[in-house]
Amino acid sequence: MDLHLKEKVFIVTGGTKGIGSAIVDTLVQEGAYVVIVGHHELDNQHKLQSLHEQGYEAWAITAELTHIEDCQKAIAFTLDTFHRIDGLVNNAGINDGVGLENGDPGRFVLSLQRNLVHFYAMAHYALPALKQSQGAIVNIGSKVSLTGQGHTSGYAAAKGAINALTREWAVELLPYRIRVNTVIPAEVWTPLYAAWIQQFPNPEKKLASITQHIPLGKRLTRPEEIADTVAFLLSDRSSHTTGQLLVVDGGYTHLDRAIDG
């Protein structure tokens, strides 16, 4: 299926690693122009070099998204380069473990800045261009917003707010035909996840204890599966889909964990 993304302009925050990197890969493979907004200059350079070696081209800007002025700078860079924006993928964030008992109000506010505030800032500054293109916003959420996790109040609050903002923005932006959706992953096999698994005394046993509860296929979600869903939601193939929270997790969050697959 042609997603009609060729020469469309998309911004992906946190696009150098994990899910964000997979989203960038999928979009450039569809012929899109992608601007990566990354925290580290070296990571940006490595990602661009990797794409170049595969025959693809992308652009990158280094930004600290907890600084509102850097969000504005990223949008300005994209408009200066392409004079349009067709879609925004708010992906950057970190499960920083700021809990109720082991955190404090200052760290909680910082967690919201890391995981929520820049979603609003990026969308706000991109909005005039998105109005012109009748573009799309895709937010990357987390199952934590639906299930809780424990000891991560800041991240959970941010991801819960992202779900609410998705519905809110979908309503507010209806007159401009801008679609807004969220993709919610659960257990995704990224390099960061792999490193986390290796911290356990028996990594294989820990991984098996998780995958046995994932109904569809008894395996973790691949980053490419998240990316494919994001690409679809950015495309006009999903032209009548807005305000949705799409959980891509092999049924882990919602299906009965006792199902014998």
Name the nearest CA neighbour of 170 among 109, 123, 211, 213: 123
Q: What distance in Å separates the CA atoms of residue 232 and residue 235, rounded to the nearest whole number? A: 5
Catalytic residue flag (residue 193): no
Residue ranges with strand state E in the chain: 9-13, 33-38, 59-62, 87-90, 136-140, 179-185, 245-248
Q: How far is 248 from 125, CA to CA, in rounded Å?
A: 28
Residue 58 near residue 108 (C-beta atoms within 8 A): no
Phi, psi for 69 (deg, rounded to 5): -65, -30
Per annotation, catalytic residue among 155, 176, 193, 252: 155
Which residue's entry shows tokens 């809780």? 148
CB atoms within 10 A of CB 240: 6
What residues act catalytically? 155
